[in-house]
Amino acid sequence: MEREGDSLKPRATKVTTGLLAGAAHLDRSLSRDKRILAVTLQQVWGEAFQAYGAAAYASYEVGAGWAIDPPGQRPVVWDSLLDLHARACRVVSEIQTLQQAGFPSGAEARARSLHELAVVASVLQKSDAELTDRYRAYEEIEHYNDAVQYNENCEALEQAPIPANEMAELKMMSESVAKKWEGIRGSNGWARSILKNPSFNDLEKYADLGHLYPFYRLGNHSVHAGPRASTLQRIEIDGVLHRSPGATVHADFAETAHGALISLQQINAALLGERVGAGADVDSLVAIMAIAGLIEVAGGRLTAAAQAAAEKGWAY
């Protein structure tokens, strides 16, 4: 910069202007490539994606029906489970969108989040209502901590700070929760009434989902910046390793998609457990059994599609 003086900025501006002039043509070209990729994936994975979508939508419909027909007991637990179920339905759709567009690592990252939702739903449903009260109250801890971090960095972000009176109110709410619920501060502090130092793996084990921890760890690589993630994104094509900077057909979507449906069904089961606990609910039980059948079909189709992809040389 010192050597070139003021000549760099106008040159960069000229390049920017040229790139913007060609942006419309580039967008049309990229959109065409995306359509071709989607059609190519559909030829192999189409039936599997179809079954996945059916299971996902059936879960949404069941949840929507349950939302207007509460079981009448433990309302705070029921309401919290519905919140988790709604988020899960959205995430399971995001996973399908990412896979159909050729983004396997993005789908893995969202499947990781879906598993977290399933674990929390299972923990809340199998515990007393007081734990859910703690879980809901923990929002005040998170909200205040978020605000503190924002104010510490708002000047660098060139943003206005949260006013002092609002910060004081957030702090008061956070301290009130900490005073009421012993040990609630810290990571997963809401669960400290059932676990001494609750790590996520501890929550998994409490929810009887500890056997899925390896998949959670795999999903972590699609979220974090560790070196293992760099190795996992490389694809071997004709004996040559390539980095994968964009959408690709070189992926095994089966494991992620099937695992996502299983996580969603675990949240369905948590809601069902809450309903059954309030009395016989045969219709709900039939609905969840039907969704289980859809998931089984989807698993078979996903396995077959993965084999077909491997035969095409779509290494992963």
pLDDT of res. 1? 65
Give φ, ψ of 43 to 5 degrees: -65, -30
Write the pLDDT tens digit of every residue in 149-207.
999 999 999 999 999 999 999 999 999 999 999 889 999 999 999 999 999 999 999 99
Q: What is the mean pLDDT of the chain?
A: 94
Instruction: Specify whether the CB–CB gap between 143 and 174 falls below 8 A.
Output: yes
How distant, in Å, are the alpha carbons of 86, 107, 118, 302 from that of 264?
Answer: 10, 14, 7, 17
Closest C-alpha among 10, 83, 144, 32 to residue 267: 83
Does 265 have pLDDT greater than 70? yes
DSSP for 106-137, written as a single string: HHHHHHHHHHHHHHHHHHHHHS-HHHHHHHHH
pLDDT of res. 281? 86
Instruction: Specify whether the CB–CB gap between 267 and 118 falls below 8 A.
Output: yes
Write the pLDDT tens digit of every residue in 203-234.
999 999 999 999 999 999 999 999 999 888 88
Does 5 have pLDDT greater than 80? no
- Tokens at 103, concatenated: 């983004």
Residue 85 CA to residue 263 CA, distance in Å, equals 10
**Continuous segment of H or E residues that includes residue 235:** strand 235-237
Write the pLDDT tens digit of every residue in 82-108.
999 999 999 999 999 999 999 999 999
- Tokens at 99, concatenated: 């896979």
pLDDT of res. 137? 97
Write the pLDDT tens digit of every residue in 64-73.
999 999 998 9
Query: What number is the average pLDDT over the span 114-130?
Result: 97
* Long-range contacts, 308-313 (Cβ 8 Å, 24+): 308/44, 309/44, 309/45, 309/249, 309/251, 309/252, 310/252, 312/44
Does 4 have pLDDT greater than 90? no
The alpha carbon of 68 is separated from its chain's Cα centroid by a whole number of angstroms, namely 25
> Crossing angle of helices 164-180/129-153, nearest 10°?
150
pLDDT of res. 153? 98
User: pTM score, two decimals?
Assistant: 0.93
Instruction: Specify whether the CB–CB gap between 253 and 303 falls below 8 A.
Output: no
Domain boundaries, the chain: 39-126+199-316, 128-193
Write the pLDDT tens digit of every residue in 224-260.
999 999 888 888 888 888 888 899 999 989 999 999 9
